[in-house]
Amino acid sequence: MPWSILWTDQAVRDMSRIDPPIARRILRKVESTAVNPMRYFSRLVAADEYKLRVGDYRLLAALDGVSETILIERVDDRSRIYARR
């Protein structure tokens, strides 16, 4: 059974600023990870968050194994996403 995917308000705003073809690519990638997110997401060093790489963009997410939920927190270019933390 696939995991549920939730988006924070900030992640939705981040997606609205991205070019539509790239945003669609990101959405397809996130939907494909719902079956087995641990295969696609990598844990950040010294943090409880996970990252997903989609081209030059990164998604920061929290994975909850108990409720099987992926919470997408941020979406941005790889050169900027880690500076905002």
Mean pLDDT of the chain: 93
Task: Grade residue 15 by pLDDT with cuts at 50, 70 and 90.
Answer: very high
Q: Is the dihedral of CA 39, 72, 29, 56 positive or negative?
A: negative
Instruction: Considering the domain delimited by 4-77, tell me its CATH architecture.
Output: 2-Layer Sandwich (3.30)
- On the question of pLDDT at 85 being above 60, the answer is no
d(CA 5, CA 15): 15
Q: What is the pLDDT of residues 20-73, one digit of tens each?
A: 999 999 999 999 999 999 999 999 988 889 999 999 999 999 999 999 999 999
Task: Grade residue 83 by pLDDT with cuts at 50, 70 and 90.
Answer: confident
Task: Please tell me the predicted confidence (pLDDT) of residue 46.
Answer: 83
* Total-model pTM: 0.90
Total count of residues recorded for the chain: 85
